[in-house]
Amino acid sequence: MSLLADIQQLTERTYQATGVNFEEFLIGRERFRYLSQFDRRARELSETARVFFRVRRGRLHVGIYYSAAVIEALEMHDPRRGLSEKNIAAFRVFIEELNHAVHGALKFMEGHTNIFGENFVRDLELQAKIDSYFLLKYFLAYFNASGQLEQMDRLWLRHHLFECDDTRYDSPELTVIYSEALTLSHKYTRFVDGLPADERLQEIRRFRCLPYAIKKRYITMLP
């Protein structure tokens, strides 16, 4: 099974199946450049990876792009053989973009069709940060003899997910979206980590179904 199929399966097992094989929606560099013309924020966004959404005749169309640098890093240092400084950045990007596709599809299936609405976009960013953290925890723990995450693993992971991001953009809109997602996800993942292990899955499933405004309020009220 491919890495993309593995991550999609893990994500959908946590939440809900989309019934879609996202490997069929991978696009190349030429298509990426063409679709970027229609995104007014494209010049400020990273070109390492991107997900494109479009609604046509009541159907959601998705395109997932990964740069050659991301693919090469993951082929040379497959995360399924271990995580290190050599692949953590590429793997995080890989997970987040696929996560956008999965949650975008699920939200659309549930009737949230305003794919360019501010809360739709913010929700995808928040979920991607949260899910990336828990997926990367899973991979790190898998390679430990104890099968558990060590304290240094947790610190290393949090550094790469929540401390390395530069959320400053020329666009105030983008700055708010990315900085807010980073702050909220950092606090929420700490809260979930503090729950008994048998309560965590139920909590993140329940949280995913909340409207974005309520998610934000919920997190800000956490101790």
pLDDT band at 100 (very low <50, low <70, confident <90, very high): very high
Secondary element (H or E) of residue 172? helix 172-193
> For 25, how many CA atoms within 13 A lie in the half-sphere containing its CB?
22
More confident residue, 169 or 206: 206
Helix, strand, coil share of the chain (percent; to 5): 65, 10, 30
What's the pLDDT score for residue 177? Answer: 86
| Averaged pLDDT score across all residues of the chain | 92
The answer to whether residue 3 scores a pLDDT higher than 90 is yes
What's the pLDDT score for residue 68? Answer: 97
The answer to whether residue 167 scores a pLDDT higher than 70 is no
Pairwise CA distance, residues 108 & 113, whole Å: 5
Q: What percent of the chain has pLDDT over 70?
A: 97
Q: What is the CA radius of gyration of the chain?
A: 17
The answer to whether residue 42 scores a pLDDT higher than 80 is no
